[in-house]
Amino acid sequence: MMKHELAMGMATRDAYGKELVALGKQDPNVVVLDADLSKSTKTALFGKAFPQRFFNVGICEANMVSMAAGLALSGKIPFISSFAVFLMAKGFDQLRMGIAYPHTNVKVVVSHGGISIGEDGPSQQSIEDIALACSLPGFIVNVPADEVAMRALLRAAHSHVGPVFMRAGRPKTPIIYREGEKFELGKGKVLTHGDDLAIVTYGGLVAEAIRAAERLERESSIRTTVIDMHTIKPIDGDLLRETAARTAAVLVAEEALADGGLASAVARWLGENLPTPMAIVSIPDTYAESATPAQLYEKYGLSAPSLVEAARKLVARKVRNGAIA
């Protein structure tokens, strides 16, 4: 169990922009497209380094997605970026027709995922992107938790042949991993060990889960396994089996709607393979509002205290059910 407060790192979108430049140096087939948000998604760094291989298409998300399909069909490896909500909502049919259906080698890396983009409010916040991405056949869906994870998983996405969705965040993110940590798409990371409960989460909530686990142990002697399930699709069934068999209680926390995202994937996997008492902390079935990221996590029930409360209830249920003496 980590006892120290997590150090603050850069936003995962910053790590994306920087690592993309490194990938561009390494692979001349990497091309990058953005829809007039490159200063925010950080693809502008690639544009500065490789102007010939960077296309700012203007505010034309649909055109951008289909163009990427054409580039991929011609042997390029396009990385396309915009805000999560704009790329996924305005480009969805194009993602379906040009990328998922013909299984083209396009990397869809969105920034400003979730509600933690803050003050810009619900029109810019993305609560549906994970479900939309998971609904596309053949897509790998991934959310790095910190800058180290972003760098490693971006390289894994580049090596993988086929469509990959990655979500980056706007705010600075606590550092979870040591530099050089190894990642594999589709393999979750166990961050803390405990047999009373598992918290399965991704992205910015990984840090909240670690804080919740510390408090649960300190205040209630509840020992928690925290899993960074960075890859939501395909879900890491082996890790779920091993963990749920040991903890007999799984709390999923996700910065998205519960329908169609990690909560659905975990519930489905456990329901089919190892039915386990579950609780879900996610964005409620509503749009949020303008506020700071921390205020939004608190108000919409995603912060560590909300996780602690949900975890205590879940463990109490387990005790009532006779699973613990």
Q: Which residues lie near another protein (CB under 8 A)? A: 31, 52-53, 55, 57-58, 60, 62-76, 78, 93-94, 96-98, 101-103
138/284 with CB nearer another protein: 138
- Please answer whether residues 203 and 255 qualify as being in contact, where contact means their C-beta atoms are separated by less than 8 angstroms: yes
Nearest to another protein of 58, 284 (CB atom): 58
181 among known catalytic residues:
no
Which of 60/267 has CB closer to another protein? 60
Of 5, 19, 61, 147, the active-site residue reads 61
Handedness of CA 63, 154, 210, 196 (dihedral sign): positive
Nearest distance from residue 35's CB to another protein, in Å?
10
Smallest separation, CB 97 to another protein (Å): 5
Amino acid of residue 225: T
Q: Where are the beta strands (DSSP E) in the chain?
A: 30-34, 54-56, 77-81, 107-110, 140-142, 164-167, 189-192, 197-201, 224-228, 231-233, 250-257, 278-283
Q: Measured from the CB of residue 131, what is the shortest distance to another protein in angstroms? A: 20
Would you say 87 or 145 has its CB closer to another protein?
87
Q: Kindly give, in sequence order, each residue whose CB lies less than 8 Å from that of residue 272, ignoring residues fewer than 6 positions away.
A: none
Cβ distance to another protein smaller for residue 46 or 55: 55
Nearer CB in complex with another protein: 56/295: 56
Question: What's the min distance (Å) between Cβ of 108 and another protein?
Answer: 15
**Torsion (CA) 306, 6, 150, 224 in degrees, nearest 10:** -50
The distance of closest approach from Cβ of residue 285 to another protein in the complex, given in angstroms and rounded to an integer, is 29
Cα–Cα distance for residue pair 188/139, rounded to 1 Å:
17
Quick one: 116 exposed, middle or buried, by C-beta within 10 A (0-12, 13-18, 19+)?
A: buried
Identify whether the C-beta of residue 266 lies closer than 8 Å to the C-beta of residue 254: no
Q: What is the DSSP letter of 184?
A: B
CA triple 270-272-277, angle to 5 deg:
35
Give every CB contact of residue 123 below 8 A, 6+ residues apart in sequence.
Answer: 85
**Rounded distance, CA 284 to CA 306, Å?**
13
Q: Which residues are catalytic?
A: 61
